[in-house]
Structure 1
Amino acid sequence: MYQVPNYTETVSMKLSEVLADIGVDERIILKKRRTWLLLESITNIDYQLLDRKFKAYLFGSQSEGTTTIGMNSDFDNLICYKEFHVIQDWSDWIPGLYNHLMIQDNSVSPGYCLLQPLKPDAPLPLDGESNQYFFKDRTGKLLYKNSLVSYINSDREMHGPAGVRHGQLGFCDADNVFALHCTTWPTQARQWLYQQGEGQWPSAEMKQHCSRTGCFVVGVGCSGSEYELLEWRISTSLAERCLMFNLNITQIRCYVLMKLILKTFINPLFEDVLSSFMCKTVLFNCISNTHTNIWRENNLLSCISMCLYILYTNIINENCPHFIIPGNNLMRGKISHAVKPYILEILNNTIYNEGVALLGIKCDDLGSRLHLKFYNLCPIKKGYIISGTLLFNLALKISETLKNNYNHLKDSSPNEAVEILKNTISKTFNFQHEGLNKTASQILLQWFCTTLGSVLASINIHQFNTILADALKLISLGLNTDVASSKLKLASILYCVQEIQKADKVLSEIERRYDLQIVEPVCDCHLFERKPVRHGFFEVCYIYNEQVLQYTTALCVRFLPCEIHCVPNELRYEMFRSTQEERMFRTFDDNLWMEYAVVDSLPYLYFLQYKVYCHLGRHDQKQAALFKLIRTIKEEPNLGHRETALNILGKCMEQEGRAGDALQCYLMSLNIRGRNNAAKIHITILLSELINART
């Protein structure tokens, strides 16, 4: 039986514990993968609802679960054009589509191809001349330039083949990689399907699954190639996702350690020489050529040394063969003779110092955590933070999807909005199959049903000054979307039809459920600097998956123009916040919400309570609600619409007869948002009333 020296076993076990503490353990990895695949499903439902001809895949270390907080990794949002049909055989040509033939011959670099456009009405090459999209070679063959991606991405900052979209502070950024999908397995990788190493990994079943995933072609050529401007890189990302999802925890920890070593000792000195994908490739090759009993927690130190040694050998030979397409040398043109000996020396020292070098890794405090482990001290685990961040990002994605789809309704009449929402609900039902697509569609359906019910309620109020049963039934289907926002819509509707006692009951229930130590406000209307999330939010999210969002998040309350009769008069002004001149200063994202009345859940809860208690004549409770509204505006760090909260507070002050305080609220609101702010309307009305009163 394979024996492990005591020292190696001790260090390996301590190292495994440290990695578990910083989030590299089975539970957190599975939570990451589930959440990111759910984000992927929601993104694709969003594309379908908006009739966008794209399909998204969220790749990278975030979705694999192979990163840590300290690495601050981004993710690859690979976006495919569904109307482009890439084929490898003429028999796969489909009439009516934009067919493109992959050319994989000796003229192109291994791992790359050329794309030849075909006619839509016959399986024949497309004719044409060279222009900004095409190049006509000496044989008369028309080929796509890979700069087509740059044209599509002309409105984004470019980073290689990816358009970078920077995220909010504290959350990962996205590289939007535009690609074309081929449903068949690449010719250059077919031999891999029949090879088998000593480790009998991947299994025949895994390879069979990989072969059904096809491949992508990405608009970037091989550096230094004669056809660099025409070549498209062949990507087997879906197959690689399958392989990553089938690694055991020691193999994943080994990969994370390799990336941490690169980040600490090599990348600061020699940036862009070695990549995490090279580390992944080395790991795959090591697993394929070793027995499975080596990959154990108590042998982690030996495993990382073995992987680093293979990487060392690859650098000496300046050849790191792609795992699936071995002819593709990932190190081609990457390592200069000047830096090569220095990188080899760093790796050599790391391999043979028996783990001492790991104590120098400052990322995630890994070195200091490892040192403390030998004294049986246990620093704070990071699984809580990771879980909370994952679910908060999921809540932001839900909010973004709603915002995108409601954009179609901002200029619609109430009756038109009803038909659009019915169509949206019908389309969303098409995803009610199984797995995470079903989960994603169920989440979104609740929100869409509540919005449809609210629009119908607005129509009912306008016509009959009451709410009909159909509207109430639809609203009730989405009352548990989150802690407050959907229920606040119901309370607002009840208030508008003077069902004051019922509104009071709903508001009391919301306040009971809104735990200030746990519930986190969620707003994606615009970018703002968020303060740290509540510790209680992290703790609850650590235990549960996406279902916990209904207990831990409170999204903005959005009222569309077609819901205006469900909105108290004081809040309706928000729908008319902009002058014609101010509209010119709006961004694209501003236009997605500034036509609505949008308010954070917690201040709206206290505002409605104030109004309800006024009607019920409960003076003490009215003053308590007013105090809570003031306190929330001052103390809640993560309000996305503080200026709106100040505006409705100002209206409360006016009702209290405190005109000076009301004016102060409006001025503070303008200090936060100088343009596109209903505070200007409130100030004008207030000053007019004061002048008229004196006259």
Structure 2
Amino acid sequence: MSDIPDYTRNVSLRLSKVLDEIGVNERMVIKRRRLQLMNETLHTITTQLSQGDANVYHLGSRVEGTTTLGLNSDIDFLFTLPGYKVIEDWNEWEPDRGNLLMIQDDTVSPGYCLLQILRNDAPLSEDNVYDQYSYRDRIGRVLLKNSINNPAAGDGRVRHGPAKSRKARLGFVSQDIVLAITCQQWPLQARRWIYQHGEGQWPTYDMKQYCKDTGCFVVGVGSKGSVNEELEWRISTSLAERYLMFNLNITQIRCYVLMKMILKTFITTQCPDSISSYMCKTVMFHCISSTNNNTWNEKTLLICLNYCLIVLYNCVLNDNCPHFIIPENNLMARRFTPVTKQVIVDRLRYIINSNGSALLEIECDQLGNRIKYTFLRFVEIALEIERSCVISGQVVKYTANVVNKCCMAILIKMNRINNTRLLFQTLRKYLILMKVTHNMNQGQTKEACRTMAKFLSLHLGSTLASINIQREGVVCRESTDLVSLGLNIDVAYGKLKLASIFYCTGDFERTELILKNIEEKYDLNVVEPTCHCYAFENSGGKRAFNKLCYEADYEYILLQSITASCVRFLRGEINCCPQEFQHEMFRSSQQDLPYRSEDDEWMDMAFVDSLPYLYFLQYKTYSNLRRHQDKQTAIFNIAKCIVKEPNFGHKETALNLLGQCMEQENKLYAALECYLLSLKIRDKNNAAKLHICRQLSSMLGPSLH
């Protein structure tokens, strides 16, 4: 490599350094991957509670660790449809399964297949066309249409290739959700790749064997322009490709990130939906397989980038980008109009001929400015660490929100159960299933099961306590033992549930001890509130929070000590929360219901952020203990945290609780002001309306009489 020109070597080193500064380094890549794979496991085990053999996979840039703050990549999910099995041979047929025979013949586009529906009681072809998703072709086969993957109307998503796409909203990044059917075996078209060898001997034979063992999927989209477009299913080797990405070195990852930045800066703005990041990844795979692995190092980054761009240029020029594993599948077939093609070719030629200077025009992550200007070394180090801290904090907060989302999915299902005894039995069944899964697995699955078991124990114990309180006014030992198993799910959630139970039984001394412990553990300069109930604007994490996330070698454990999710009560737990909070379970009047979306089912439960609920319980406890000064401090703290904490998800609820405290202090106009402020935050589906009507009736009642 001694013949590399000094200019190329210097630019490559500078590029490598800048990408390191913005978080494209081995430490941050590993952090992203580790937590995203944990999130994948959480999603899977939660989905399997209700859908049996369904699986969830996280794919794309976030789990690969190939994104940056500026790229802000989508979150890609793949959900497998339970109950279906794709087979290639009749001998693989199984009874009582949705057996689908993969058909690949001359009528099907390369990289695609047809799915013939088979009977589930015998290894025979299905003769009946049951619904709009099945179709009888000219030779009598009943085929499954790919339109089974169409997004439901009104769910905020649109069809984008095989994915249901939802654009970014406040507090949420954009999402692509793909429904897929699992194939245990690779089809013949893919198996040929195992025995092909590139010049660079990458991937190795062992890597290819591992890829084959991951299986594949079929996803519901046909080849564009095909006569069978509504019937074809694309063969997806996404798990194998993810594994290949996990085996790239840091220079190869940086090269891919640069390609995506170039795509975003020079091509997507002029030609949207033309070249995809998946095409860039495929091109890079081809380039790596055709070169020696030693070629890819930080001194040659510019050379490697130009090589990938030249290959991409030739692909566009020839309208042909072969799929890496199934090369007969041309990813660029019928992709570009002549005008679009010419624009892309011109832009790529300009970038290649610039010999790196075009990179100065990239605004994403201030890449161009970072390359251009040389800062003092100590400033560089400070900026690099600060940015890495922010990224680490974001990833940990996202993981906390995944936990919240998984818990929410279970709670919504449980809240539909009107019978409290049946609710208790269902929660107990889920807890047993989670413990069995925990005992049968290792690593991330075991850790994810432990988290969900804590959550289920918490609500199982709280439900039992609610039954006890309604019947006897006291709680049994079993209920408090169950709740105690979930005390450290985060810094406050479990303990607040336990404190709330003791408060509702009149045990104010024990309630005070628990609340005091929470307040000591809840470091206001560090702990981040987390909420995934709805879309709202979320500011960056606290500096101390981000720093701890960056310094931790195992970030998942941090969820217990530096995050605080909103506190949730099912209607079946109604006797475990104070009367003032119970109103939140009935926030929606008949007039409000039409303004709710399918994402608003959480409104039938009681939700509040941990910190204001802590102070509210303190107020109620100190009121019963007749400690006037302490209860005044608690009121002040409720008001202060509402004003100062930007990341609360339920400020309207906190204001409703504060208003009721004001009423109990006989400060009626201050209470009314709290309710009106609450309505400004959420003007529909808000218990503040009930409080205002009740208070006005109370205030005006004497004068009316």
Once the two structures are overlaid, the 10-residue window that deviates more, 107-116 or 43-52, is 43-52
Deviates more, 1:322-331 or 1:164-173: 164-173
Name the counterpart of 2:563.
Answer: 553
Cα 1:553–1:333, aligned 2, differ >3 Å: closer, same or farther?
Answer: same
Task: Judge conservation of contact 1:153–1:163 (CA < 8 Å) in 2.
Answer: no
* Distance in 1 between residues matched to 2:287 and 2:259, nearest whole Å: 13
What's 1:61 paired with? 61
Aligned to 2:508: 500
Q: CA deviation at 1:98?
A: 1.4
Aligned equivalent of 1:400, options 381, 387, 405: 405
Q: What is the match of residue 209 of structure 2? A: 208
Letter in 2 for 1:417: L
1:420 aligns with 2:429: no
TM-score, normalised by the number of residues in structure 1? 0.95
Q: Match for 2:388: what amino acid?
A: G
In the alignment, structure 1 residue 50 sits paired with structure 2 residue 47: no
What are the equivalent positions in structure 2 for 1:252-651 lying under 5 Å apart?
252-373=253-374, 378=380, 380-381=383-384, 382-410=387-415, 411-432=417-438, 433-544=441-552, 545-591=555-601, 593-651=602-660
Following TM superposition, by how much is the alpha carbon of 1:693 offset from its aligned partner in structure 2, in angstroms? 5.6
Using the TM superposition, name which of 183-192 and 336-345 deviates more. 336-345
Distance in 1 separating the partners of 2:57 and 2:402: 15
Aligned to 1:119: 119
2:171–2:536 CA contact under 8 A, matched in 1 = no
- Cα distance between partner residues in 2 of 1:658 and 1:585: 32
In the TM superposition, what are the counterparts of 1:27-46 in structure 2 within 5 Å? 27-46=27-46
* In 1: Cα distance, 2:129 partner to 2:506 partner: 70
Structure 2: distance between partners of 1:409 and 1:626: 33
1:138 aligns with 2:138: yes
Once residues 222 and 154 of structure 2 are traced to their aligned partners in structure 1, the CA distance between those partners, rounded to angstroms, is 19
Residue 24 of structure 1 aligns to a residue whose secondary structure is coil
Larger displacement relative to structure 2 (629-638 or 256-265): 629-638
Q: CA deviation at 1:523?
A: 1.9
Cα separation, 2, equivalents of 1:41 and 1:97: 25
C-alpha distance in 2, partners of 1:271/1:151? 22
Q: Deviations over 1:62-91 (max 9, x none)?
A: 111112221222132112112111111121
The question of whether the paired residues in 1 share the 8 Å contact of 2:285 and 2:324 is answered with: yes
Paired with 2:271 and 2:596, the residues of 1 have a C-alpha distance of 42
Give SS of 1:380's match: helix
Query: What residue identity is the alignment partner of 2:653?
Result: T
Provide the rounded CA distance (Å) in 1 between the counterparts of 2:691 and 2:338: 70
Equivalent AA in structure 2 for residue 492 of structure 1: S
Give the letter for the 1:453 counterpart. Answer: G
Tell me the CA shift for residue 248 of structure 1: 0.7
Instruction: Return the letter of the residue paired with 1:578.
Output: S
Match of 2:683 in 1: 674
1:147 correspondence with 2:153: no
Structure 1 residue 27: Cα displacement: 1.2
How has the CA–CA distance of structure 1 residues 96 and 409 changed in structure 2, closer, same or farther, with 3 Å as cutoff?
closer
Task: After superposition, give the CA deviation of every residue in 1:163-185 in whole Å (9 maximum; x if it has no partner).
Answer: 12345425421111122111101
Query: Does the alignment pair 1:219 with 2:224?
Result: no
Q: Which moves more between the two structures, 302-311 or 529-538?
A: 529-538
3-state secondary structure, aligned to 1:99? strand
Q: What is the letter of the counterpart of residue 648 of structure 1?
A: L
Task: Give the deviation of 1:366 after TM superposition.
Answer: 0.5
Quote the Cα distance in structure 2 between the aligned partners of 1:28 and 1:557: 31
| Counterpart residue number, 1:78 | 78
What is the alpha-carbon root mean square deviation over aligned residues? 2.3
C-alpha distance 199-483 of structure 1, shift in aligned 2 (>3 A): same
Deviation of the 1:136 alpha carbon:
2.9
Cα distance change on mapping 1:151 and 1:357 into 2, 3 Å: closer
Letter of the aligned partner of 2:429 in structure 1?
N
Give the Cα separation in 2 of the matches to 1:422 and 1:18. Answer: 52
How far residue 318 of structure 1 moved from its aligned partner, in angstroms, is 2.4
Post-superposition Cα deviations, 1:428-459, rounded to whole Å, max 9, x if no partner, equal 12321112111111111111111122222223
Matched residue of 2:437: which SS?
Answer: coil
State how far apart, in whole Å, the 2-side matches of 1:270 and 1:151 are: 25
Q: CA deviation at 1:153?
A: 7.2
Give the SS at the match of 1:102: strand
Name structure 2 gaps, 5 residues minimum.
none
Partner of 2:236: 235
1:182-240 CA distances to partner (integer Å, 9 max, x unpaired)? Answer: 11012101111011122111111111111112211112111222322222111110110
Change (3 A) 1:373 1:499: same
Matched-pair identity in %: 49
Query: Which residues of 2 match residues 13-28 of structure 1 at below 5 A?
Result: 13-28=13-28
8 Å contact kept, 1:14–1:373? no
Secondary structure at the aligned position of 1:334 is classed as coil
* Contact 2:21 2:383 (C-alpha < 8 Å) held by counterparts: yes
CA shift at 1:152, angstroms? Answer: 6.3
Whole-Å Cα distance in 2 between the matches of residues 347 and 213 of structure 1?
A: 35
Against the structure 1 CA distance between its residues 227 and 195, is the aligned structure 2 distance closer, same or farther, given a 3 Å change threshold?
A: same
Q: Classify the secondary structure of the residue corresponding to 1:498.
A: coil
Deviations, residues 525-552 of structure 1 (Å, cap 9, x unaligned): 2222333332332222222311111222
Q: d(CA) in 2 for partners of 1:51 and 1:583?
A: 28
Q: Extract unaligned runs of 5+ from structure 1.
A: none
1:147 aligned counterpart, secondary structure: helix
Comparing 384-393 and 685-694, the one that deviates more = 685-694
**Helix, strand or coil at the partner of 1:508:** helix
Q: Distance in 2 between matches of 1:645 and 1:342?
A: 54
Distance 1:587 1:312 in 2: 45
Identify which range, 479-488 or 661-670, moves more after superposition. 661-670
Deviation at 1:339, TM superposition (A): 4.2
Pick aligned residue for 2:666 from 657, 667, 676: 657
- The separation in 2 between residues aligned to 1:242 and 1:487, in whole angstroms, is 40
Taking structure 1 as reference, are residues 170 and 681 closer, same or farther at Cα in structure 2, changes over 3 Å only?
closer
Whether the aligned pair in 2 keeps the contact of 1:266 and 1:346 (CA below 8 Å) is yes
Q: CA deviation at 1:375?
A: 6.6
SS of corresponding position for 1:54: coil
Deviations 1:655-689 (A, max 9, x none): 21212222222232233333333333333433344
Confirm or deny: 8 A CA contact 1:261 1:361 kept in the other structure: yes
Which string of whole-angstrom CA distances, capped at 9 and with x for unpartnered residues, describes residues 480-518 of structure 1?
111112111112222222322222221122112212222
**Partners in 1 of 2:375 and 2:359 — Cα distance?**
13
Take 1:334 and 1:597, find their aligned partners in 2: how far apart are those partners? 50
Please tell me the residue identity of whatever aligns with 1:201.
W
- The amino acid across from 2:88 in the alignment is Q
